[in-house]
């Protein structure tokens, strides 16, 4: 079948069936094999009350640095903080343009900022 440029084929799509439920993320399946190790780590952090920095974070940073073959790693609280730290390190700030994909992980949409479906360029506030 040949189409002229810009023309769409007519009635060639498969019929729509019943909607299916596709789970986005199954944390239980990921966490269960590590449950004992996670619980022990949570207990150590809770007992020490060092929720920020502390030996657990330092140990994580050391293991992560060794794993990727670098001298230093900085642990942050979220992906948003990791992106912000990267932008700040590069000297990117207010007035600079940052190109972002229009489709990304659903949790990246913050409630306190409007979402632009057609967004490709955003200015940092």
Reference 57, options 40, 74, 69, 43; nearest CA is: 74
Has residue 110 been placed in a domain? no
Has residue 4 been placed in a domain? no
Has residue 86 been placed in a domain? no
- What are the pLDDT digits (tens) for 40-76? 999 999 999 998 888 999 999 999 999 999 999 999 9
Paired strand residues for 123: 97
pLDDT at 117: 47
* Full residue range of the structural domain in which residue 47 is found: 34-75
Has residue 120 been placed in a domain? no
Tell me the two tokens of residue 9.
């084929």
Task: Report whether pLDDT(9) > 70.
Answer: no
Q: Do 122 and 98 touch, CB atoms closer than 8 A?
A: yes
Tell me the two tokens of residue 24.
């986005």
pLDDT at 119: 47
Has residue 122 been placed in a domain? no
Has residue 60 been placed in a domain? yes
> Model confidence at 106, in pLDDT bands (50, 70, 90)?
low
Has residue 2 been placed in a domain? no
pLDDT at 73: 93
Q: In terms of DSSP H, where are the helices of the chain?
A: 27-31, 35-48, 54-68, 79-89
Mean pLDDT, the chain, whole residue set? 79
Has residue 27 been placed in a domain? no
Q: Is the pTM of this model over 0.85?
A: no
- Provide the number of structural domains found in the chain: 1
């Amino acid at each position: 079948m040949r189409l002229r440029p810009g023309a769409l084929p007519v009635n060639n799509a498969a019929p729509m069936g019943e909607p299916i439920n596709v789970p986005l993320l199954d944390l239980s399946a990921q966490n269960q094999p590590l449950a004992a190790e996670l619980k022990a780590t949570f207990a150590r952090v809770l007992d020490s009350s060092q929720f920020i920095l502390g030996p657990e974070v330092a140990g994580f940073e050391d293991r992560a640095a060794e794993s990727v073959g670098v001298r230093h790693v900085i642990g942050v609280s979220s992906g948003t903080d990791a992106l912000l730290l990267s932008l700040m390190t590069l000297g990117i700030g207010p007035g600079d343009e940052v190109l972002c994909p229009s489709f990304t992980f659903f949790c990246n949409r913050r409630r306190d900022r409007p979402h632009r479906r057609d967004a490709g360029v955003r200015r940092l506030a």
